[in-house]
Every structure is written in C-alpha cells, then in structure tokens.
Amino acid sequence: MSNLAGYYSSKGKPLPSLAERAKTYENLGLGSAASYRGTPAQNATLLWKLKERGKDVLNSSLASEAGNNAPIFLQTYDGLNVLLEKIRTLFFPNVVNSPSQPCPKQRSNQKIPKPTPSSSAPGGSINYDEMYAPKGKGYRDDQIASYSHYNVPIERTEGRIAGNSRIHGDASDETQRASIDLIVREVKSRGLSDGDAAYVLSMAYIESGFNPDAAAGTTSASGLGQFIDKTGAHYGLGSNNRFDAEANAGALVDAYEDAKKWAEKNHPNDVDVYIYAYHHDGPSLKYGGVDLAREEVIPRADMFLKALNPNMSVLP
C-alpha cells in the first residue's frame, strides 16, 4: 500500500479518476479540487491523509455521482453518524442535542481543517528550499558491480514518488519534498524531537539526496537510506520495496533509532557523531563514518533544524 493505486486496490477498488481524487483531496481539507493535479507530492499527501483517518473515504466521490439514489452510507464518509441522526429525528424529534456537543449530522458536515503550520503535513512550516539536494555524479559502466541495482529500470506507475534516475539527488523538487514529508511524519509518529527529525533528514540528504530511486554503482546500496541488501532485509526492505519511499522512510528512522542506542551505550559523550558512524560503517566504524558525521551530517542537521522553523515546532 505504498501508493494510491495500491491503497485503492487493497480496498478492492480501481484507482479513481483525477477528477474523483480531486474531490477527495478537497473533502479532506488538503486544498481545493482545482489545485489538485495528481502530482507525486499531492498523491503522497492524499495517501497519508487517507491512512491517518483510518477510514475508507473513497466512496465520498462515488456518492456525489450517485446522488440520493446511493445508500445512505455512501452519501458521506461519516455515514454512520448521519444514519443515527436520521433515526433520532424520526423517532425522537423533540430531543435536542447539547450545544456543547454537535449532533452527528453537524459533525459530519464540518469541513476537515487544513493542516496547521505546526503539523508535519506538507506545506506547513518547513523551508524546503534549504533542503533540496543537487544532482550528483553518475557511474561509468565499468564501475558498476554485478550486484548493484544501479541499472534496474525505475518504476513509473502513476502516483509513485520517483526519481529521474538512480543518481544521488536526481529528483524533482516535488519528489524530494514528498520524501522529506514522509521522513518527518515517520519521526513524528514515534514521538521523536525536532532534532531527531533534522538528523534523519541530514542522513537522507547525504545518502540519497532525497531521491528514493537512488542506487550506488559499486555496492547494493539503494533507496533513501542507501541500505545494502543485507541491512535492508533486516529493516524490511527487499526486491519489492527497496525503492519505495514510504518503506525507506520507516527503515531509515528504524536504523537511526538503533544507531542512537548504540551510540548512547558506547559513546555517551559523542552521540551525534556515532549515530551516523554506525549507520554508515556498521559496528566496525572503519569506513569514514565518523569524519562524515562531523564534517557533513551534523552541520547539515543544524541547518535543517532551522529549516523546520525556529519559531514553530514541526513535531509538537
């Protein structure tokens, strides 16, 4: 369920048309239907909101087409409350709900508010311009190892968060922004701090340049966190999802939390340095992770923390 097509397929439904998705986008308070263009960033936002609600709201657009002939539960994504209200008004017309507790019908008709700047939703307080990564250098054919995923074709299904190539940072602003949003939301879902979010974002910047389709030519490293196959398998990544942005965001935060525990245990006076060192080098700490942490990761994490907004917490 890593994209909209997968989400609707899991519900036994085909992917709605662009117009139908635009209605759902507006109904969920994410913006006007006219502003919805089906971009990767908008689709990622829509998918996140559908999952967050924990309800299947895809029938709201179908109900608008079916009109009054549609079953009552299809006429609103809060249909149970509407049904209860109809029963109340039919059998208990003189009973009035308390003003402090809106009746079900009133509640179901309330427009879902747009995300506030203090939330982790896209378009909040994040200064994305300070985070976008430039395109890096590619690999020559004679540099590519047989076990590398560098030459694996990029999936181009509609709504998928995709890069332009396997090269570090070679992804549109929309794709990078969607990747950033997924990471921030994953951090927030675990109750971690702004500093944690900034550090994980810095790791993703260094590893993939926020390109979920990035792959190394000389190793099997791939995805947002550039996990080699063996490590990726430990965090639930494999051939079916090694380039999936959402799965990689979760795996990267998992790896961050594990590395942080190791750093706190073994290097309590230099935790920030050794978080990335463990991620990059593994237990050996022999592959330059310490220097990279000091010279690249920590300074960029400080910058990203400011980009998350110094006056308004992204992760309340």
35 lies in a domain? yes
121 lies in a domain? no
Short-list 134, 131, 151, 133, CA closest to 142: 151
85 lies in a domain? no
At 213-259, the pLDDT tens digits run 999 999 999 999 999 999 999 999 999 999 999 999 999 999 999 99
Where does a domain end: 42, 60, 78? 60
Q: Are residues 277 and 134 in the same domain?
A: yes
Average pLDDT, the chain: 79
Q: Hey, what are 95's tokens?
A: 């009973």
Q: Are residues 55 and 161 in the same domain?
A: no
Torsion angle of C-alpha atoms 86, 88, 91, 92, degrees rounded to 10: -140
* Residue range(s) defining the domain that contains residue 21: 4-60
Residue 234 φ/ψ, nearest 5 degrees: -60, -30
For residue 39, the model assigns a pLDDT of: 74
Number of structural domains in the chain:
2
222 lies in a domain? yes
101 lies in a domain? no
Q: Are residues 40 and 183 in the same domain?
A: no
Helix (H, G, I), strand (E, B) or coil at 222: strand
Q: Are residues 44 and 138 in the same domain?
A: no
The model carries a pTM of 0.63
pLDDT over 50 (residue 13): yes
